[in-house]
């Protein structure tokens, strides 16, 4: 099993995603002799998982069932253990595109955090590219190394435990792109420029506060970066609902009777059908935004090394 290459069958030691529903799933490390508890009952790894195909429907001990999915960066983002705040698919997709990443690209990242973006970057640059990721916190760096090894992508990533603002990324003039997600990105712009290739490398900085963006943009200008621009990506989710609305009374029947000389004061006309006209309702499908949703996540500042 690898987050980069698809494996057909579930093996001992794999990371798999247990899918109970669109709003309920979680990762599990497959181990011989282990059991996993769910609301539908027990899943026995030896009998129910190992040797089965990914995507299989597995019946639990209480009679309910779940699907076992092959892990992907998208599923991992939704289910990973949070050691820090993470980036989600909305921001990850625009970062990957705006940094012009492709198979074979060399990318520098700081900080590693929970590894949400890291897995997406690795999948994008594989099989010949490489990710150099720097994490200030020692325990988080060690945990990231362990996860990359378990997920079969450790040959595509180098994890370094150091302060990127003081010591940089540990590489020079080879990176196609640099990504910064640190409290003071302006202090690392010089090191980012040194890590980037001689010309045309791209840089992205993620910051939740506009004051951070202002200082980062000034530092980018100082170090000669061009095409500096900042984006804010807002996701708005819609649910499809059936809505009932009254058919509007536009007064057409009254106008027709008026043009024909209809007199409502005449007793002989008081039994006319138009006086008993009842408005009906019509049902149709409509997209309705959620009442509560994630708003601002952060600002993405992009620039190019001139």
* Residue 116 marked as a ligand binder: yes
* Residue 181 marked as a ligand binder: yes
* Residue 152 marked as a ligand binder: no
Helix axes 116-125, 89-98, angle to 10 degrees: 40
* Residue 235 marked as a ligand binder: no
Cα torsion 257, 261, 263, 269: sign: negative
* Residue 74 marked as a ligand binder: no
Based on its alpha-carbon atoms, the radius of gyration of the chain, rounded to whole angstroms, reads 29
* Residue 261 marked as a ligand binder: no
* Residue 142 marked as a ligand binder: no
Distance (Å, whole) CA 275 – CA 199 = 79
Q: Which residues fall in the annotated binding site for S-adenosyl-L-methionine? A: 114-117, 135, 163, 181
Q: Which residues are annotated as a binding site?
A: 114-117, 135, 163, 181
């Amino acid at each position: 099993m690898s987050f980069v290459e698809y494996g057909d069958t579930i093996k001992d030691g794999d990371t798999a995603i247990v899918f109970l529903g669109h709003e309920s799933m979680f990762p599990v490390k497959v181990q011989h002799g282990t059991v996993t508890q769910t609301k539908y009952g027990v899943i026995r790894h030896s009998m129910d998982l190992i040797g089965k195909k990914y995507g299989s429907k597995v019946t639990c001990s209480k009679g309910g069932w779940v699907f076992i999915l092959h892990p992907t960066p998208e599923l991992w983002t939704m289910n990973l253990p949070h050691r820090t705040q993470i980036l989600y698919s909305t921001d990850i997709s625009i970062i990957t595109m705006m940094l012009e990443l492709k198979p074979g690209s060399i990318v520098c990242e700081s900080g590693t955090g929970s590894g949400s973006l890291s897995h997406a970057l690795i999948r994008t640059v594989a099989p010949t590219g490489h990710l150099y990721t720097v994490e200030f916190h020692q325990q988080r760096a060690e945990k990231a190394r362990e996860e990359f090894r378990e997920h079969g992508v450790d040959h595509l990533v180098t994890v370094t435990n150091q302060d990127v603002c003081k010591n940089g990324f540990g590489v020079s003039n080879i990176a196609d792109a640099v990504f910064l997600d640190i409290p003071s990105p302006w202090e690392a712009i010089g090191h980012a420029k040194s890590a980037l290739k001689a010309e045309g490398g791209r840089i992205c900085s993620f910051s939740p506060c506009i004051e951070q963006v202002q200082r980062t943009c000034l530092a980018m200008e100082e170090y000669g970066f061009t095409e500096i621009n900042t984006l804010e990506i807002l996701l708005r989710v819609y649910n499809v609902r059936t809505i009932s609305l009254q058919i509007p009374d536009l007064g057409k029947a009254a106008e027709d009777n008026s043009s024909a000389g209809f007199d409502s004061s005449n007793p002989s006309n008081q039994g006319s059908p138009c006086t008993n006209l009842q408005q009906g309702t019509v049902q149709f499908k409509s997209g309705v935004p959620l009442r509560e949703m994630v708003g601002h996540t952060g600002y993405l500042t992009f620039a190019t090394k001139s």
